[in-house]
Amino acid sequence: MQRSLAESRDDGPPFFTRLGLAARQLARSLAKPVVTFVALVGTAGPANGLWAHLYPIVLGTPLVITALQRRSGEAFKLWSTYILGFLAFRVVRNFADGDGTRVYYGYVIGMDRLLGLGHVPTVALQDRWFHAGHAGWFDWYLIGVYLSYFALPPLLALVLWATGSRLFRRYVMASLVLFASAAVVHCLLPSAPPWLAAYSGFLPPIHRIANEVFFGQDPRLYSYANHVAEGNPVAAMPSVHAGATWLIALVAWETRRWLGPLGLFYTISMVLALVYLGEHYLIDALVGIALASIAWRWAGRFKSLAGVAPTDEGAIVREVIEA
């Protein structure tokens, strides 16, 4: 009798324990394919006015490569988190002022007047430099700088990963913090940009220069300009354009000292473009840069606290190419 009891104990764990272990194993096996599928589908969601296939290629390619590589666990987590975080930001910011009744105009105008010594910088710059019906090289340059936001941040992430840069993790983490903090402000404080404030009567007439310039070239390009600038029009504070540009400048400074001034020039150009084109107030851009600075500093501390050595993502790319 005692022998049969002992033998029954040696039969292994109970049925439900084995079932739970099997379920956990199955979930662990399916986690990466499911996350990869959701993230890949998500890359096709956010419209990119510059090129419809930009996000699927620039974000989807490294995601698939890291998903197929057993040694790239951290790189896969970073890419999937970066993509899903960006998608979540796009979804959440579109809910800001969902009912259309809570939009703030006055406080940003007052802060910009303070920064402009009594003048709203957008109004002053357009009065001085913009000539309706005639787009000069300066207008085209700033429009180009403004449009670069839709391509350079993900392209930088791709370059950092492909070259095995130690800054890849920090850049991704800082970007995620920027997205999250900006989305919170967008929802709590939905603020109108200068062009909308002028349209609503809170400011003198302001041109939405990019739209007008494209329309002047070809009326069909007006829809293109609207497509590029689509999104929630009252998610102006803070400016993620300025914040993301400043993160690029910080990466440039950390990579090569001589690249730092170029990054700073790019950031100044972006801020000037945002203000001059009527898309953001100066205070929007400054808050965006401040949030990016905090995110970058936090991401650096997070990396050191995590105690995880950087992965050689470049080796992963080389392995795939050589295979």
Exposed/middle/buried for residue 168 (C-beta within 10 Å: 0-12, 13-18, 19+):
buried
Give residue-wise pLDDT tens across range 237-266: 999 999 999 999 999 999 988 899 999 999
Q: Quick one: pLDDT at residue 321?
A: 39
Strand partners for 191:
104, 235
Residue 57 resides in a domain? no
Q: Rounded to the nearest 5 degrees, what angle is found at the Cα of 320, between the Cα atoms of 317 and 323?
A: 145
Residue 12 resides in a domain? no
**Rounded Cα distance, 274 and 282, in Å:** 8
Cis peptide bond prior to 238, omega within 30° of 0: yes
**Rounded Cα distance, 147 and 126, in Å:** 19
- Domain with 154, as residue range(s), is 100-322
Residue 209 resides in a domain? yes
Q: Quick one: pLDDT at residue 317?
A: 44
Residue 2 resides in a domain? no
User: Which residues of the chain are modeled with pLDDT < 70?
Assistant: 1-13, 15-40, 42-43, 45-52, 70-72, 96-101, 215-232, 302-323
Q: Quick one: pLDDT at residue 35?
A: 64
Residue 40 resides in a domain? no
**Rounded Cα distance, 155 and 47, in Å:** 16
Enter the DSSP assignment of 77.
H
C-alpha distance across the termini of the chain, in Å: 60
Residue 288 resides in a domain? yes
Number of domains forming the structure of the chain: 1
Read off the pTM: 0.81
Q: Quick one: pLDDT at residue 52?
A: 64
Residue 26 resides in a domain? no
Residue 71 resides in a domain? no
Query: What's the one-letter identity of residue 238?
Result: P
